[in-house]
Structures are given as C-alpha cells and as structure tokens.
Amino acid sequence: MPDGGGRVPAVDRQDILPGTRWHHPESRDSRQRYYSCRVAISNERIVWIDCEMTGLSLEDDALIEVAVLVTDDQLNVLGDGVDVVIKPADAALEQMNAFVRNMHTSSGLLEELPGGTTMEDAQKQVLDYIKRWVPEPGKAPLAGNSVGTDRTFLVRDMPELVEHLHYRVVDVSTIKELARRWYPRAYFQAPPKTGNHRALGDIQDSIDELRYYRGAVFVSGSGPTSDEARQVATAIVENRTGAGPSSPATSAASPAADDGES
C-alpha cells in the first residue's frame, strides 16, 4: 500500500490460481473444490445501485429514480445497465425540503417525474437486467456509496430485488473513510464526482471511485503469498483487540478455510 509502513513486499505469484483467491499448499483437488465453492457463493459479479429520493424518511419520502450497473470482479461494466424514473405521489413532492427540491431541479430529475413509470415496472426493469448477468439469487452483493440508505428504500419498495441479492454489501464510502485516516494523500487525490445527483451518473462515479482506490491504496499485483498472509493473521491473533497482555494466543486458522457467513 502506498504511503504506509508494514507494506507486504511484491512477490512472484507463480502459485496463484485463476481469479482472486490465494493458492493453497494442499492437494490440487482440494484447491479446486475450494475455489469452485467460492465462485458459486459470489458469482464474481457485483450489482451497483444508486437511488434518488425526495428525502431520507422511510415514512414520508418516495423513491424517484433507480440506476443499476452490474460489473465483473475487475469492475468492468456488463451490458448497458438500467436507469428508471419513478412517478411519486403528490404528497411526497409537496413535503420535500428546499435543499432536496433545488438539488432535483438543478439535475433535471424533478421535471422528468410526471412521465415516470410505476414502482412495479421499475422493479421489473431493474431485475430483468440484473438476472441477465446474475441469474441465481443470493450470489452477488449490492454495491455503491453509503449504500445502506439506498437499501432501506429498496427493501420497502423493491423487496424482490433485494431478495435476489446477497446480504453482503460493498460500500465504497467505507473504503473512502479508511483511506482518509490511513492514506490521506491518496484520499485527497481521488477523482472528482461528476454524477450531479442523478442515479446513473452517481453509480458510475462509485465504480470509478473504487477503481481509483484499488489502484492507489490496495496491494498491487496479485497480493501476498499464503505464507505472508498467514504471518499477518498470526500477528493479529497474538494481539487481538480487547485481549489482555497475558491472554494466550490462539492458533490462527487458515484464512482460506474460512467459509463462514460473516
């Protein structure tokens, strides 16, 4: 990682398996079984969604625009994506505060709302696109910036969509916050946002932001060897958060063997 100490040295990755998983020193068969299992869980696809709302209240505000892009594990966009405007109830528009109203006026979204579609049709369009690239439910995580907020509105208004996704999320804002603390020079050089508070532009910004942090902050190349990763894991186990100075160190489990649901 740039600008930091304790950097894992670059190594010759002759032993890496295809994809993103580390090589295992065990038999070839066990490695292949493990890798096949992990691919089945993640499908190597990421579903990127951004939402525009009339506000942040689940009781009073409406979901008015949803955009979705699916990427592969290298952040390449698959297909054309979907960007759909949803016509809200008059009550949701009437109670918008001045800041939100000005934002949606400047972006041009407000004037598109009278011609928006229904929530049912919007969910169908979004799901049809996602299922083209992620046909099986529960395989791909939801991704975006501060995506937890978007997810709460999707749970309320597009439950079938949420059910199709994996419960894990990839929140680029988390990476940004960590970079601000640990790699401030990388944080301050991040490319500017250009989405202008429209769902499709914002989600394209999110993908580009993760591409940036991957290149600027994450370990370059294929990452550490298994032995190097085990050394880091052992150091963590021997100095666990909350453990007293006399607490015995437990044996480190191989990260590759972790198939839990955390």
pTM (2 decimals)? 0.76
- The CA distance from 78 to 99, in Å, is 34
CB-CB neighbours of 35 under 10 Å: 19
Residues acting as catalytic residues: 167
Domain 41-216 sits in CATH 3.30.420.10: yes
Q: Are 161 and 155 in contact (CB under 8 A)?
A: no
- The domains of the chain are located at 41-216
First and final C-alpha spacing in the chain = 25
Q: Is 123 exposed, middle or buried (0-12, 13-18, 19+ CB in 10 A)?
A: buried
pLDDT in tens, 182-231: 999 999 999 999 878 999 999 999 999 999 999 999 988 888 899 999 99
Q: How many CB atoms lie within 10 A of CB 68?
A: 25
Judge contact between 85 and 117, C-beta under 8 A.
yes
Per-residue pLDDT of the chain (262 residues; tens, 9 = 90+): 444 444 333 333 333 333 333 333 343 444 444 344 444 444 599 999 999 999 999 999 999 999 999 999 999 999 999 999 999 999 999 999 999 999 999 999 999 999 999 999 999 999 999 999 999 999 999 999 999 999 999 999 999 999 999 999 999 999 999 999 999 999 999 999 987 899 999 999 999 999 999 999 998 888 889 999 999 999 999 999 987 655 444 444 444 444 455 5
